[in-house]
Structure 1
Amino acid sequence: MKYAIIIPDGCADEPIEALAGRTPLQAAQLPFTDALAAAGSLGLANNTPAHLPAGSEVANLCLLGYDPDQYFTGRAPLEAAAQGIELGEHDWAVRCNLVTIEDQVMVDFTADHITTDEAAQLLATAQQALLSDQTGPGKFEFVTGVSYRNLLIYRGQPDTPPPFSGETRTRAPHDLTDLPVTDDFPRGPGSQQLQRWMDASEEIFRDHPVNQQRRAAGKRPATNLWLWGLGKSPQLPSFADRHGVQGVMITAVDLLRGIAALVGWPRIEVEGATGYLDTDYAAKGRAAVEALQSNDLVCVHIEAPDEASHEGRHDAKIEALQQIDQHIVGPLHKALAEQGDYRILVTPDHPTPCGTKKHSHGMVPFVIAGTDVEADEQQTYDEVAAAAAGRRLDAGWDLMQQFIKGSG
């Protein structure tokens, strides 16, 4: 048996007036995914429990079969794992966005998709200005990631109280787009230090050469550090131990790379995969088809629909969904069917409505097709058809076991 999981991140949405009351999934032309719906089984799953953040960190753990109440410790540790950063028992990771804030409003949580090289220069300056005179046993260090997605790592000592706790609360910047940030700074243990660094970064970055060059080029500057998503390293049992199948991950996003590393999946890096709307969909599809030859399960994550939603662009979201259908769903399903017994799952992690430009709690539609999957009466893959199918998983982490074992 071969398996494929396709995750069009954030593709679940709400009816949009400009689309005649349809969602982007309903408005998009998705012949290959609709064919899966006609031949397979649809339903709704909840990957974002109401008491936890409605983000990809919780949702993708759920999607892969891990109860977040048991395994979720924060977003940043997952991204640290993606970079091969090992966190000891007393260490913490903090997500560090480079953002654009104007008049205390989150104008852009990506700092206009700042480049990785520019981010490295800004973080080197922040390290020198904010962290060069650290005293005591615990040490902080900024670590460059990809573009605006970076980390702050704390290395603790056994006899030193940690700077944070499970009571420390932060807010994801992508949930603050176009909103005031005054009341959304960190709260709880260690939050005052985080807020001081966030405040100080504004002056440090204001006249930085990187921002001078960006303004001259008509790009938004990176005005601030935004620190959030902190946590300690989770202890995840391997996917193979839980489900009896070994997988491989294809993604351009560190969060998914990190989850893959922690559950024991190798990652396939695809040239041209960007984690944005300009990603090379066809290259991802080719890589997935090739990976089937030597792996039991291939998981392809595509960030583009989520990015389109964060920008409030339903047209770009529809285009991303159509590219995924044509270049990933179609070729991968064809390759699966040609090699023998198989199952394929298409599902987003969480909803990201274009109207709000941010992640939300709520059900997402899934479709399972393949060997020993009984077809229902639905003919299209979208939120309405999935609801009409009548299958509902309030604990989203149950879906993976059903997918692997074939109880769908």
Structure 2
Amino acid sequence: MKYVIVIPDGCADEPIEALGGRTPLEVANVPAMDELAKNGKLGLANNTPDHLPAGSEVANLCLLGYDPDRYFTGRAPLEAAAQGITLEPGDWAVRCNLVTIEEQTMVDFTADHVTTEEATELLESLQAELRSEDPIESRLNFVPGVSYRNLLIFRGSESIAAPFSKDTRSTAPHDLTDLPVSNDFPRGPGSDWLVRLMNRSADVFADHPVNKRRVAAGKRPVTSVWLWGLGDAPKLPSFESLHGVRGVMITAVDLLRGIAALVGWPRIDVEGATGYLDTDYAAKGRAAIKALQTYDLVCVHVEAPDEASHEGRHDAKIEAIEQIDKQIVDPLIKALSAKGDYRILITPDHPTYCRTKKHTHAMVPWLISGTGIDPDSETSYDEKAAENSGLNFANGWDLIGHFIESEH
């Protein structure tokens, strides 16, 4: 049996007035997914428990079968794993966005998609400002990632503990788009220390050569870092030990790379996969088909629908969903059919509403089709059809077992 999971990140939405009261998934032309729906089962799953962040960090752990109350420690540790950073006891990782804040409003949580080279230069300048004689600051290291997505690592010791804890609260900057930030700075234990560092970054970046070049080129400046998603090292059992199949991850996003590393999956980096709307969908589809020769399970994550939602662009979201159907799902179905027994699961991790431009706590529609799946009466893949099916998982982490292990 071959298994494929396709994650169109954030593709679930609410009805949109400009679309005649339909969602982008309802409007999108997705013949391959609809054909799978006719021959498979639909339902809803809750990957974002109300008491946890409604973000990809929690949702994707749930989607892959891990109860976040047992395994989630924070977003940043997952991204640290993606970069091969090992967190020892006492170590902490903090997500470090480069952002544009103007008049205390989060104008752009990507800082106009700052380049990786620019981000590296800015973080090197901020690193140089840290005081080696300070017991906390001497144990900090900024780690450049991709574009605006970066990390801050704290290395603890027996004598020097992190100033923050599991009770330190923070807010994801992508949930603050076009909103005031004054009430959403870190809070709780150690929050004053995080806020001071964020304020210091604003001073360092104010007249930085990188920003001078960006402004001259008509781009938004990087006004500061935004620190959030902090946590210590999680401990996850391998996916193979739980489900008996070998998996591989195809994604352009560090968060998913990190989760893959922690559950024992290698990752395939695809040339042209950007984690944005301009990603090479066809290249991801080809990589997934090739990976089926080696692995039992291939997981393809596509960030584009989520990015379109964060920009409030339902037209771009529809286009992204259609490209996933045409360039990834359709060729995968043909390849799987030629190989024999297979099952395919299509599901977003969480909803991301174009209206609010942020993630939300709500059920997401899933579709399972393939060998041994008795079809229900639904004939399309969308939120309404999934709701009509009545097959729901209140705990999203139970879905993966239903997909792999049940006889349906």
Please give the range of the TM-score, normalised by the shorter of the 2 chains: over 0.9
Question: Given residue 350 of structure 2, which amino acid in structure 1 is its aligned partner?
Answer: H
Match of 1:144 in 2: 144
Bigger mean CA offset, 297-306 vs 330-339: 330-339
CA contact (8 A) 1:137 1:160 kept: no
Distance 1:153 1:131, change over 3 A: farther
Cα distance in 1 for partners of 2:285, 2:163 equals 44
Give the drift of 1:406: 3.1
Question: Given residue 125 of structure 2, which amino acid in structure 1 is its aligned partner?
Answer: T
**Does residue 33 of structure 2 align to residue 37 of structure 1?**
no
Question: Given residue 280 of structure 1, which amino acid in structure 2 is its aligned partner?
Answer: D
Question: Given residue 18 of structure 1, which amino acid in structure 2 is its aligned partner?
Answer: A
Distance 1:131 1:99, change over 3 A: farther
Cα distance in 2 for partners of 1:363, 1:407 equals 24
Match of 1:327 in 2: 327
Give the drift of 1:401: 0.5
Cα distance in 2 for partners of 1:15, 1:404 equals 32
Give the drift of 1:137: 9.4
Give the drift of 1:136: 6.1
Runs of 4+ with >4 A deviation: none
Match of 2:67 in 1: 67
Give the drift of 1:166: 1.0
Q: Deviations over 1:90-131 (max 9, x none)?
A: 100000000000000000000011000000000000101234
Match of 1:200 in 2: 200
Match of 1:304 in 2: 304
**Does residue 318 of structure 2 align to residue 318 of structure 1?**
yes
Cα distance in 1 for partners of 2:48, 2:308 equals 20
Bigger mean CA offset, 225-234 vs 126-135: 126-135
Match of 1:393 in 2: 393
Give the drift of 1:159: 3.0
Q: Deviations over 1:133-154 (max 9, x none)?
A: 4336960110000000000000
Cα distance in 2 for partners of 1:198, 1:167 equals 19
Match of 2:249 in 1: 249
SS in 2 for 1:144: strand
Give the drift of 1:285: 0.2
Cα distance in 1 for partners of 2:132, 2:28 equals 52
Question: Given residue 266 of structure 1, which amino acid in structure 2 is its aligned partner?
Answer: P
CA contact (8 A) 2:289 2:332 kept: yes
Cα distance in 2 for partners of 1:134, 1:403 equals 52
CA contact (8 A) 1:138 1:157 kept: no
Q: Under a length normalisation based on structure 1, what TM-score does the superposition of the two structures give? A: 0.99
Q: Under a length normalisation based on structure 2, what TM-score does the superposition of the two structures give? A: 0.99
Computed over aligned residues only, the root mean square deviation of the Cα atoms, in angstroms, reads 1.0
Cα distance in 1 for partners of 2:211, 2:359 equals 29
Cα distance in 2 for partners of 1:66, 1:131 equals 40
Cα distance in 2 for partners of 1:156, 1:376 equals 54
Q: Deviations over 1:247-279 (max 9, x none)?
A: 000000000000000000000000000000000
Distance 1:42 1:117, change over 3 A: same
Match of 1:117 in 2: 117
SS in 2 for 1:398: helix
SS in 2 for 1:397: helix
CA contact (8 A) 1:131 1:140 kept: no
Match of 2:191 in 1: 191
Cα distance in 2 for partners of 1:68, 1:131 equals 36
SS in 1 for 2:179: coil
Match of 1:232 in 2: 232
Cα distance in 1 for partners of 2:96, 2:294 equals 36
SS in 2 for 1:130: coil
Match of 1:210 in 2: 210
SS in 1 for 2:177: coil
Cα distance in 1 for partners of 2:131, 2:7 equals 38
**Does residue 365 of structure 2 align to residue 404 of structure 1?**
no
Cα distance in 2 for partners of 1:346, 1:61 equals 16
Cα distance in 2 for partners of 1:154, 1:27 equals 46
Match of 1:342 in 2: 342
Question: Given residue 160 of structure 2, which amino acid in structure 1 is its aligned partner?
Answer: T
> Aligned runs of 1:360-371 on 2, under 5 Å?
360-371=360-371
Unaligned runs of 5+ in 1: none
**Does residue 112 of structure 2 align to residue 100 of structure 1?**
no
SS in 1 for 2:130: helix
Cα distance in 1 for partners of 2:73, 2:263 equals 15
Give the drift of 1:334: 1.1
Cα distance in 2 for partners of 1:158, 1:38 equals 59
Bigger mean CA offset, 391-400 vs 124-133: 124-133
CA contact (8 A) 1:4 1:299 kept: yes
Cα distance in 1 for partners of 2:59, 2:7 equals 11
Q: Deviations over 1:346-397 (max 9, x none)?
A: 0000000100000000100000000000100001000000000111100000
Cα distance in 1 for partners of 2:381, 2:120 equals 41
Cα distance in 2 for partners of 1:250, 1:162 equals 34
Match of 1:352 in 2: 352
Cα distance in 2 for partners of 1:56, 1:387 equals 22
Cα distance in 2 for partners of 1:136, 1:392 equals 47
**Does residue 25 of structure 2 align to residue 25 of structure 1?**
yes
Cα distance in 2 for partners of 1:120, 1:260 equals 25
SS in 2 for 1:85: coil
CA contact (8 A) 1:137 1:157 kept: no
Cα distance in 1 for partners of 2:132, 2:15 equals 51
CA contact (8 A) 1:130 1:197 kept: no
Provide the aligned length of Structure 1 versus Structure 2. 408
Question: Given residue 201 of structure 2, which amino acid in structure 1 is its aligned partner?
Answer: S
Identity of aligned residues (%): 70
Q: Deviations over 1:212-232 (max 9, x none)?
A: 111111111110100000000
Match of 2:155 in 1: 155
